[in-house]
């Protein structure tokens, strides 16, 4: 693709569509019996979707030969982080009313909250170092920092799995997708090591 800027804009516009639809539902009271839970679940799922898309860039680039996809990876990762920020903000403000005692108690008594916070904590350094200046400044360390995305994906899936309790179809889908992407990465590393 010649115009990567256009592709990046297209990705960002499409990433904003679910948020716009969610805003429409909020404005029109279409969030069901538990609006906070609906918005939390939606933003969390969107963060995970864009996390999986970020991880899928390298396999797609190698399998399809679309090398321009690598230029979209940063945008996809930052969109995932943006949805994670929104997800966490809604939890802190609307669900817990910024009560530090309630938040700490929730994290201790409900493991999925602890894993969610751990996931977000790991995402922060990746988002902070997602600049060309950081790549130049950190050198090889930048790659080591950004390989933590696989840990982030695992913690995010565990957070989702523990949260849903009964209906585990959606978390299972994400676990399967991330498992395939991790397996592909392992195959690539093995092949490169053998060479």
pLDDT tens-digit series, residues 49-73? 999 999 999 888 888 888 888 889 9
Query: Tokens 């609006």 label which residue?
Result: 35
The mean per-residue pLDDT over the stretch 74-98 comes to 96
pLDDT tens digits for range 80-90: 999 999 999 99
Structure tokens that stand for 24 in this block: 């429409």
Kindly give, in sequence order, each residue whose CB lies less than 8 Å from that of residue 8, ignoring residues fewer than 6 positions away.
Answer: 71, 72, 75
3-state secondary structure of 32: coil
Which sequence spans correspond to the domains of the chain?
4-194
Looking at the chain, the whole-number percentage of residues with pLDDT higher than 90 is 65
Residue 194 pLDDT grade (very low, low, confident, very high; cuts 50, 70, 90): low
Asked if 93 and 102 count as a contact pair (C-beta separation under 8 A), the reply is no
User: Angle at the Cα of 31 (from 102 to 48), degrees rounded to 5?
Assistant: 70
Structure tokens that stand for 183 in this block: 């397996």
| pLDDT score of 59 | 87
Q: How many residues does the chain have?
A: 195
3-state secondary structure of 29: coil
User: pTM of this prediction?
Assistant: 0.91
Query: Tokens 């916070």 label which residue?
Result: 117
8-state DSSP, 147: T
Structure tokens that stand for 100 in this block: 């530090």
The mean per-residue pLDDT over the stretch 18-22 comes to 94
């Amino acid at each position: 693709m010649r115009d990567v800027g256009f592709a990046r804009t297209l990705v960002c516009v499409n990433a904003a569509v679910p948020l716009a639809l969610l805003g429409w539902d909020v404005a029109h009271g279409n969030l069901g019996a538990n609006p906070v839970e609906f918005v939390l679940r939606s933003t969390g799922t969107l963060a995970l979707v864009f996390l999986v898309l970020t991880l899928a860039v390298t396999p797609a680039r190698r399998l399809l030969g679309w090398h321009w996809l690598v230029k979209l990876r940063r945008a996809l990762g930052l969109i995932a982080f943006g949805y994670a920020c929104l997800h966490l903000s809604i939890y802190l403000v609307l669900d817990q009313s910024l009560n530090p005692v309630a938040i700490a108690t929730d994290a201790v008594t409900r493991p999925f909250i602890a894993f969610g916070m751990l996931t977000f904590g790991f995402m922060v350094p990746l988002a902070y170092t997602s600049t060309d200046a950081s790549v130049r400044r950190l050198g090889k360390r930048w790659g080591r920092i950004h390989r933590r995305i696989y840990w982030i994906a695992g913690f995010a899936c565990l957070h989702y799995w523990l949260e849903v309790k009964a209906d585990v179809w959606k978390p299972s889908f994400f676990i399967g997708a991330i498992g395939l992407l991790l397996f592909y990465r392992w195959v690539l590393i093995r092949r490169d090591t053998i060479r």
